[in-house]
Chain A
Amino acid sequence: MNAEFEKLKVVTKYELLKQVRRRRFYGALILVVIAEALAIALYKGLNIPEALPIPIPDSPKLFALFVAGMGSSVAVLAAVFFAGDSIASEFERKTGYILFPNPVKRSTLVVGKYAACFIVTAVVLVSAYALASAALVGMYRQLPVEVLGSLGLALLLGCSILGLAFLFSSLLKGGMGATIATLLLFMLIFPIIRMGLTYSGREPWFTLDYAADSVSSVYGIPFAEMWQGPMGGMALMTPDPTTSLFVMLAYFVAPFVMSIWITKRREML
């Protein structure tokens, strides 16, 4: 057990080294800086509080909702960027012929890879929230405690997306396929389910994209009502952060456990 834990640390360390050596890590960090700067510029330049369908007074929480609220998108993109090819590439690019004939359990390899992906996703997310927090303190001399809650939920969302990406990566032949499948699930399949349920007046609490909105709903601002105008009543529901936390936890645990099970059984053909 202890020896396997030592191996887990080794796998995590070198997987992390691989991740930070890739251009996509720095690309993700640059994208985050650009996105944050753009969000701040738009918030101020377009005077968002006044421009809302139902105008509300400017406040640090509204600013945080608008600027740090993109945490869910950052979590999704970062997780998919780093995790899509984690397992699939070992088979697709034949690196598994070097890694797998070693006395280390496949489950240890998957957990180590996951830990490394989570660390780089967390670095990108924390960078985004750090920039938003710096802007908050600079403009309002305040840092609402909800920012931390939002970050916590965004990190959990990252865990869920990583879990899904790992599941697809263990199932599919290629890393690109796993990346696309994860994005399609989150950006197409879940929204379709959500749309159908919302139109029929049912709360889509179990869909991951709805639960992801808790990253914003944690600020306690009724944003669904605020932005209802152009959506024709589509976004009338706001997710409960506590329910969403458990939903995201389930989307993390179930796919991740399945990905370990599949990888253990997958043959290196």
Chain B
Amino acid sequence: MKEAIVIENLSKRYNDFLALDNLSLEVRRNEDVALVGPNGAGKTTALKVLCGLLRPSSGTAYINGVNVVEERERAISKVGAVVETPEFYPFLTPNETLSYLGRLRGMRGRGLKSRIDEVLKLVKLDGWSNVRIEKFSRGMKQRLVLAQSLLHDPPILILDEPTLGLDPRGMAEMRETLKKAREEKTVFFASHLLAEVTQVCDRVALIDHGRLLVYDSIARLKKKYRTSLEGVYLKLTEGAT
């Protein structure tokens, strides 16, 4: 299967609210795709279904050919995820937290320890590895969120607003990390920041009211609509609202 991620006629209803409306899209291996759309468009819901945090009302999704709904554990074993603004256990340190998550993914011993050191260095938290997370700022926690998503060196990254809560330097560093990651990984990420999207991704899936409005390369969209990505976004979401 060439596709790393396949979303097939996915719908998700919360009581009367239809968050995803028959959404279908495919992300090929080593492709970097941004999921963009207005607030409440269904971006986070789609990512949550992919990570097995929500069950779809209908439709399904596959990661590396494995059905997420039917075989959740196997499907997400090759995924590194950042969903919403997660919290960590305040009484544990980054070392302990990453050790816990790494061991749940079958990592052990020196390999795990050196990988923990590596990812903490990557997100510039190496000086904080043994400090309890209760002392961390929002930005530091967000760096740790990225560290845990990269810990097992997954071929697929599913990221929801990964730079949320970071200061400008942190955002720039995070983008650099993602740019490096995209060279060898499939990156599927949701963001409001179109400038960031342009730097990190080649293709964009624009959704609104849970429906796919357009899915194409940024270059082609700019050419087709003869405007910037922001212009494309404003034009298409205006029509849909």
Interface residues, chain A, with chain B CB atoms under 8 Å away: 3, 7, 10-11, 14, 17-18, 21-22, 93-105, 267-269
CB distance from A104 to the nearest CB of B (A): 5
A269 near B96: Cβ-Cβ < 8 Å: no
A101 near B88: Cβ-Cβ < 8 Å: no
**How many A-B contacts at CB < 8 Å in the complex?**
76
A98 near B104: Cβ-Cβ < 8 Å: no
Given A95-B86, A96-B53, A102-B104, 18 other A-B contacts at CB below 8 A?
A: A10-B103, A14-B100, A17-B96, A21-B92, A22-B91, A94-B84, A95-B88, A97-B53, A97-B84, A97-B85, A98-B88, A100-B53, A101-B76, A101-B79, A102-B105, A267-B55, A268-B48, A268-B83
B92 near A7: Cβ-Cβ < 8 Å: no
With both beta carbons as reference points, the residue of chain B lying nearest to A14 in the complex is identified as B100
Which residues of the partner chain B approach A18 to less than 8 Å between Cβ atoms? 89, 91-92
Q: In the complex, what distance in Å separates the CA atom of A102 from the CA atom of B96?
A: 16
Which residue in A93, A95, A103, A268 is a CB contact (below 8 Å) of B104? A103
CB distance from B104 to the nearest CB of A (A): 5
Q: In the complex, what distance in Å separates the CA atom of A247 from the CA atom of B97?
A: 39
Which residue in B54, B85, B96, B101 is a CB contact (below 8 Å) of A94? B85
Interface residues, chain B, with chain A CB atoms under 8 Å away: 14, 48, 51-55, 73-74, 76-77, 79, 81, 83-89, 91-92, 96-97, 100-101, 103-106, 145, 148
B92 near A17: Cβ-Cβ < 8 Å: yes
A98 near B145: Cβ-Cβ < 8 Å: yes
A7 near B104: Cβ-Cβ < 8 Å: yes
Q: In the complex, what distance in Å separates the CA atom of A94 from the CA atom of B77?
A: 21
Q: Which of A99, A100, A103 has the most CB of B within 10 A?
A: A103
CB distance from B124 to the nearest CB of A (A): 19
Q: In the complex, what distance in Å separates the CA atom of A129 from the CA atom of B89?
A: 32
B100 near A10: Cβ-Cβ < 8 Å: yes
Q: Given A100-B52, A103-B76, A104-B73, is A94 in contact with B86 using a C-beta cutoff of 8 Å?
A: yes
A103 near B105: Cβ-Cβ < 8 Å: yes
Which residues of the partner chain B approach A105 to less than 8 Å between Cβ atoms? 73
Q: In the complex, what distance in Å separates the CA atom of A100 from the CA atom of B49?
A: 12
Q: In the complex, what distance in Å separates the CA atom of A22 from the CA atom of B91?
A: 7
CB distance from B140 to the nearest CB of A (A): 15
